């Protein structure tokens, strides 16, 4: 089973040189720590910044320079600042090549639910609905099952949706899967995790085709 950092590490392998990338809160944020050697990517944050750098050194933090998680950040050479409408123009207009975000549920059709649990305080969707409805390439980072051990990879989402038929790839603590027209296609398994475990942990249709390699991290 992968740790949070390892999920991020595996997702980082999906990055390609020259991509603009939007990372959601939580595990996705960690992806920035594992950019492969020799490639250059730019991070976009939907509150209006491109070329986001690491957290500032203690004492240099600037209240006027935050990311969408409201954390103090820095900006790298070649970065830029813009207003919220231009920020989502980039996102909606598909100028950002990859979005990585967390989820509570993903369906075998690629539907995603990650913003609302009926009966609980609803905080809002923030930019998630714009991101998932727009991006061509969406990777979900999440644990394969919830705290009660129930699968988060479902036939149909049970929670209110954030977007439909949009998730392309899922990296969990157990596996890497593509979302295909036929359902979840198992690509890789976490070190030491058996295909059997993944099958048991996946409620939605799972396609297991031939030998499934272990992830290389």
Question: For residues 173-202, which are near other proteins according to CB under 8 A?
Answer: none
| Cβ atoms of residues 143 and 172 within 8 Å | yes
Query: Minimal distance in Å, beta carbon 21 to other proteins?
Result: 11
**Cα 182 to Cα 204: distance, rounded to the nearest angstrom:** 10
Question: For residues 149-168, which are near other proteins according to CB under 8 A?
Answer: 160-165
| Cβ atoms of residues 144 and 4 within 8 Å | no
- Spatial CA neighbour of 87 closest among 46, 53, 128: 46
DSSP-assigned letter for residue 63: T
Question: For residues 18-37, which are near other proteins according to CB under 8 A?
Answer: 18, 20
Question: For residues 39-78, which are near other proteins according to CB under 8 A?
Answer: 40, 42, 44-51, 54-73, 75, 77-78
86 binds other proteins (CB under 8 A): yes
Residue with Cβ nearer other proteins (157 or 170) = 157
**Residue that the structure tokens 């030998």 belong to:** 211
Active-site residue identified among 14, 46, 105, 203: 46
Residue with Cβ nearer other proteins (27 or 193) = 27
Known catalytic membership, residue 196: no
As given in the structure block, the two tokens for residue 57 are 């050194």
134 binds other proteins (CB under 8 A): yes
**Cα 173 to Cα 25: distance, rounded to the nearest angstrom:** 17
Residue with Cβ nearer other proteins (31 or 206) = 31
81 binds other proteins (CB under 8 A): yes
Q: Dmax of the chain from CA atoms? A: 54
The catalytic residues are: 46
């Amino acid at each position: 089973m992968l740790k949070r950092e390892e999920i991020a590490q595996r997702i980082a392998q999906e990055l390609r040189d020259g991509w603009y990338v939007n990372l959601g809160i939580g595990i996705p944020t960690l992806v920035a720590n594992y950019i492969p050697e020799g490639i250059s990517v730019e991070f976009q944050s939907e509150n209006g910044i491109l070329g986001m750098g690491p957290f500032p050194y203690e004492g240099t933090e600037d209240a006027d320079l935050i990311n969408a998680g409201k954390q103090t950040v820095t900006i790298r050479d070649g970065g830029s600042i813009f207003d919220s409408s231009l920020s989502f123009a980039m996102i909606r207009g598909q100028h950002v090549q990859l979005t990585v975000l967390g989820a509570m549920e993903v369906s075998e059709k690629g539907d995603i639910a990650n913003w609302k649990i009926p009966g609980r305080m609803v905080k809002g969707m923030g930019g998630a609905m714009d991101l998932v409805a727009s991006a061509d390439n969406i990777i979900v980072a999440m644990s394969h099952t919830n705290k009660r051990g129930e699968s988060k990879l479902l036939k149909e989402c049970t929670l209110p949706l954030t977007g439909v038929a949009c998730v392309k790839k899922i990296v969990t603590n157990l596996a890497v899967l593509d979302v295909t027209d036929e359902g979840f296609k198992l690509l890789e398994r976490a070190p030491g995790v058996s295909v059997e475990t993944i099958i048991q942990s996946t409620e939605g249709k799972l396609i297991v085709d031939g030998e499934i390699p272990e992830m290389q991290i």
